[in-house]
């Protein structure tokens, strides 16, 4: 099996990718912040299905953490991640340090912002987060210049913003979303699950259960979405889970859903112990409505 290369420097990375492109290799890219779990590795699998070369980056991006958030405690497990990626068949790991990505402080640099959609949902409590994400992803896209890139659907708003950024800025990169990977309990895999104790991890499954129950009520015909959101929040709070939001939105533009919306997504963010957890579930009513 060919060995995975690890590169920390962007000009060396560009040269390696140039060599591949000169012999018509198709390059897929999976950007991550490391502490890889099965969810990330499925992104690598999906990348592999669409390309002949798979590049993964590990970069804990300071620009997407606000003061007081968990950048210092964010789990960093480069050696273990590197072994997992090599085993999964990635071709190249790009693991730059902050000075390689940002020549000066991120706040002094040009930013990329998707207006409006960066400040709703998770952007309400984390107003600088998505600008940090879209800026670093734009920079990484310019460094790697892949044919396609794969992101997880767990971060639904992030995936949505990246697709819009790519369209608005004409990046010649195809964006693919990969299904959320869950524990048997339903809890979505996330690097931040490592902040949970064993008991909290079990408890955290209530988040996805509340989304499933809300989705079931919609499928049964309930269209009072505000009431459904309130019920889900109450259920989670009664379970001792601090709720940031539960919101029923249109899948195609993330605007609030109404009774006529056929493709919906229910998104939620909660706090449990030291972990902020997000999740979502999609509901497709097009078949149901056509049958009525
Ligand atoms: O989803 C993540 O891990 C990060 O937000 C990303 C896309 C790698 C940008 O830093």
Domain spanning 5-178: CATH 3.40.50.620: yes
Does residue 291 surpass a pLDDT of 60? no
Joined tokens for residue 161? 């913003």
pLDDT grade, residue 2 (50/70/90)? low
* Interval between CA 217 and ligand 1 midpoint (Å): 32
Question: Which pTM value belongs to this model?
Answer: 0.96
What is the residue extent of each domain of the chain? Answer: 5-178, 191-291
Measured by CA distance, the residue closest to atom 3 of ligand 1 is: 32
Q: What is the pLDDT of residue 57?
A: 99
Backbone dihedral region for residue 242 (phi beyond 0: left; psi -120 to 50: alpha; all else: beta)? beta
Measured by CA distance, the residue closest to atom 9 of ligand 1 is: 133
- Which atom of ligand 1 has the smallest separation from the CA of 152? 1
Best CA proximity match to 248, nearest among 240, 256, 260: 256
What does the mean pLDDT of the chain come to?
A: 96
Give 137-180 pLDDT, tens digit per residue.
999 999 999 999 999 999 999 999 999 999 999 999 999 999 99
Domain 191-291, what architecture? 2-Layer Sandwich (3.30)
Q: What is the pLDDT of residue 288?
A: 67
Give 207-243 pLDDT, tens digit per residue.
999 999 999 999 999 999 999 999 999 999 999 999 9
Catalytic annotation, pick one of 37, 40, 129, 147: 40
Mean pLDDT throughout 35-56?
98
pLDDT grade, residue 265 (50/70/90)? very high
Backbone dihedral region for residue 164 (phi beyond 0: left; psi -120 to 50: alpha; all else: beta)? alpha
Best CA proximity match to 254, nearest among 176, 153, 161: 161
**224 CB-contact burial (10 Å; exposed 0-12 / middle 13-18 / buried 19+):** exposed
Does residue 292 surpass a pLDDT of 60? no
Measured by CA distance, the residue closest to atom 2 of ligand 1 is: 32
37 is known as an active-site residue: no
Identical fold for domains 5-178 and 191-291, yes or no, is no
Give 174-184 pLDDT, tens digit per residue.
999 999 999 99
List residues near ligand 1 (CB under 6 A).
31-33, 61, 64, 133, 136-137, 155, 158
Pairwise pLDDT comparison (240 vs 289), residue with the higher score: 240
Q: Which residues contact 266 (CB under 8 A, 6 or more apart)?
A: 211, 214, 215, 218, 232, 246, 247, 248, 249, 280, 281, 282, 283
Give 71-89 pLDDT, tens digit per residue.
999 999 999 999 999 999 9
* Interval between CA 213 and ligand 1 midpoint (Å): 29
Count CA atoms closer than 13 A to 11's CA, side-chain side: 0
């Amino acid at each position: 099996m060919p060995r995975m290369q690890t590169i920390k420097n962007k000009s060396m990375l560009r040269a390696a990718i140039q060599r591949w492109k000169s012999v018509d290799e198709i390059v897929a890219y999976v950007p991550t912040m490391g502490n890889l779990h099965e969810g990330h590795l499925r992104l690598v699998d999906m990348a592999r299905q669409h390309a002949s070369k798979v590049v993964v980056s590990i970069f804990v991006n300071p620009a997407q953490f606000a003061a007081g958030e968990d950048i210092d405690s964010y789990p960093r497990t480069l050696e273990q991640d590197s072994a997992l990626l090599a085993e999964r068949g990635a071709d190249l790991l790009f693991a730059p340090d902050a000075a390689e990505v940002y020549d000066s402080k991120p706040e002094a640099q040009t930013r990329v912002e998707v207006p409006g959609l960066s400040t709703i949902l998770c952007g309400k409590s984390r107003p600088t987060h998505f600008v940090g994400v879209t800026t670093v992803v734009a920079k990484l896209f310019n460094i790697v210049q892949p044919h396609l890139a794969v992101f997880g659907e767990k971060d639904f708003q992030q995936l949505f913003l990246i697709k819009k950024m790519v369209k608005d800025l004409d990046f010649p990169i195809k964006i693919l979303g990969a299904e959320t990977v869950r524990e048997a309990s339903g809890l979505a895999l996330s690097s931040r699950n490592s902040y949970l104790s064993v008991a909290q991890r079990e408890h955290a499954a209530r988040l996805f259960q509340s989304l499933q129950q809300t989705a079931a009520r919609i499928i049964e015909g309930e269209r009072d979405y505000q009431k459904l959101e309130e019920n889900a929040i109450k259920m989670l709070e009664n379970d001792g889970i601090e709720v940031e939001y539960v919101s029923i939105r249109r899948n195609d533009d993330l605007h609030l859903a109404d009774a006529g919306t056929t493709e919906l997504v229910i998104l939620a963010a909660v706090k449990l112990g030291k972990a902020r957890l997000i999740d979502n579930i999609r509901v497709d009513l097009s078949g149901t409505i056509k049958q009525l």
